Structure 1
Amino acid sequence: MKKLSTSNRILLLLAVFTLIPSFFTPLWQISLWAPQYPEGLNMKIWIDHLSGNVDQINGVNHYIGMKHIGVEMFPEFTYLTYVMMGMIALGLLFFLVGRRWSLYAFFGLLNAFGIAILVDMYIWGYEYGHELDPKAAIKVEGMSYQPPLIGYKELLNFLAYSGPDTGSWILIGGVSMLGIAMFRDFREKKLLA
């Protein structure tokens, strides 16, 4: 098994370090704007809690029959910290191994994790936006209120946005470093062939 070049091992180690800010920065954000909220309402999703205007968002959503947003809605908060610590430990192990396969394995692991999180968020958003209280004060026949997974969406008189926050952008930077290392590794392999 071919060893990684020193520069690619450094890129792998830097990518591992990009996981650490996920403990201290918000990973995702959901924002809402409406005529009555021109400054917007914002909810930040961290690795183990929520912050921002969660109470105001719950107040607005109550009228259309959406469930109360709370930490208890997200069982992921109970184990995501441990998953992230495990990925850091694996990343450090892959760095110590320093073989080509370890670079590709860590890249695959981070991408699989990212896809799993997006699928989980989509399912949560679908259930949250479709399972409405039939006794809600405001009912619009055939209307669902699923927030966008990524990007903007109009929901009645609200404009909703959902997307990565600081921690996720740092993680995306780490995955990009792995992509650069893989490109360099592929190029080195081609030159030696």
Structure 2
Amino acid sequence: MKKSGILMVIGSALLLGLFIYPLWNIQLEAPQYPDPLGMNIYISGIQGEEEFDIQNIDGINHYIGMKKIPKPAEMWEFNVFPLVIGGMAGLGVLLGILGFFKVIGPNWFLGWLILMTVLGILGMMDFNNWLTDYGTDLDPKAIMKLTDSEGNPLSYKPPLFGSQKILNFTAHSYPKAGAYLMFAGMLLTLVAWWVGKKSPKGKS
């Protein structure tokens, strides 16, 4: 279990990268903006890629009735997510240490991975719900009121993943370094479970 325990510790510790690097990135590209406007989404808040990107995005959104980019105090997720990630990282490191000293078996690593996967899916669903609300809950007093061919208000929801045309903008939504570190950490915990299961009586 020593090798698998070490892998579990390393994999869990990689989650701490989310406290440093952004989880996701959304960019708005248009002819009038040679350099795309972008915002990096961290587990504790949203920051512009450049100094005035958030201000410019809020200015554009104002005309079509979209809400301003939320500040950390305005979304419970930015208070809860750091606690969840920190807790899961700490729990994973503890399990890895216990596995290293053969106090527990590798199935505990698999249990951690399943829990982390469920939490990750719930987090992505919550993120998608926020994008939907952000792009569809428009101010009826907005300066510009654009509708589709049937007279329904247009949706300005950015894609959860990929690129999408929104008016004269193209929105790009992709994971950033924090997400890749999280995925790498989860993969390592899967390897840790596999190594532990394949070792003779869990002794490697």
TM-score normalised to structure 1 length: 0.89
1:25 & 1:168 partners in 2: Cα distance? Answer: 8
SS of the counterpart of 1:63? helix
Q: Encode CA deviations 1:68-101: one digit per residue, 9 max, x unaligned.
A: 1121442211222222221122112211331122
1:61 aligns with 2:57: no
1:109 aligns with 2:115: yes
1:103 & 1:75 partners in 2: Cα distance? Answer: 29
Identity score, percent:
36
CA-atom RMSD in angstroms: 1.6
1:123 aligns with 2:129: yes
Give the structure 1 partner of residue 35 of structure 2: 39
SS of the counterpart of 1:148? coil
Q: Shift in Å at residue 185 of structure 1?
A: 4.4
Give the structure 2 partner of residue 159 of structure 1: 170
1:186 & 1:102 partners in 2: Cα distance? Answer: 11
1:74 & 1:167 partners in 2: Cα distance? Answer: 20
Give the structure 2 partner of residue 75 of structure 1: 76
Counterpart pick for 2:145 among 136, 139, 142: 139
TM-score normalised to structure 2 length: 0.84
1:92 & 1:180 partners in 2: Cα distance? Answer: 15
Gaps of 5+ in 2: 100-104
Gaps of 5+ in 1: none
1:183 & 1:151 partners in 2: Cα distance? Answer: 32
Q: What amino acid does structure 2 have at the position aligned with 1:144? A: S
SS of the counterpart of 2:173? strand
Give the structure 2 partner of residue 86 of structure 1: 87
Q: Shift in Å at residue 183 of structure 1?
A: 3.9
**Would you say the 8 A contact 1:21–1:170 is kept in 2?**
yes
2:191 & 2:114 partners in 1: Cα distance? Answer: 14
Q: Shift in Å at residue 181 of structure 1?
A: 2.9
Q: Encode CA deviations 1:102-144: one digit per residue, 9 max, x unaligned.
A: 1101111221121111011011011111111112122221310
SS of the counterpart of 1:18? helix
Aligned length: 185
